[in-house]
Amino acid sequence: MAIALVTGGSRGIGRATARQLAQEGYRVVVNYHRNLDAANEVVEAIQAAGGNALAICADIGDEQQVEAMFTEIDALGEPLSALVNNAGILFTQSPLEKLTAERINRVLTTNVTGYFLCCREAVKRMSHAHGGQGGAIVNVSSAASRLGAPFEYVDYAASKGAVDTLTTGLALEVAAQGIRVNCVRPGLIYTEMHADGGEPGRVDRVKDALPMRRGGQPEEVAQAIVWLLSDKASYVTGSFLELAGGR
Q: Which residues bind ligand NAP (CB under 6 A)?
A: 7-8, 10-14, 31-35, 38, 59-61, 86-89, 110, 114, 140, 142, 186, 188-189, 191-193
Catalytic residue (choose from 26, 153, 156, 190):
156
73 Cβ partners below 8 Å, 6+ apart? 3, 5, 29, 56, 80
Whichever of 104 and 178 has its CB closer to ligand NAP, that residue is 104
CB of 42 to ligand NAP, least distance (A): 9
Q: How far is the CB of 13 from ligand NAP (least distance, A)?
A: 4
Q: Which is nearer to ligand NAP, 123 or 244 (CB)?
A: 244
Taking alpha carbons only, the member of 98, 109, 107, 93 closest to residue 155 is 107
Nearer to ligand NAP, 32 or 70 (CB): 32
3-state secondary structure 180-223: EEEEEEECCECCCHHHHCCCCCHHHHHHHHCCCCCCECHHHHHH
- Provide, rounded to whole angstroms, the least separation between the CB of residue 184 and ligand NAP: 8
Look up 32 and say whether it is catalytic. no
Contacts (Cβ under 8 Å, ≥6 apart) of 75: none
Residue nearest to ligand NAP (CB): 12
For the chain, first and last CA: distance in Å? 38
Q: 173 or 196: whose CB is closer to ligand NAP?
A: 196
Longest dimension (CA), the chain: 50
CB of 31 to ligand NAP, least distance (A): 6
Catalytic site positions? 156
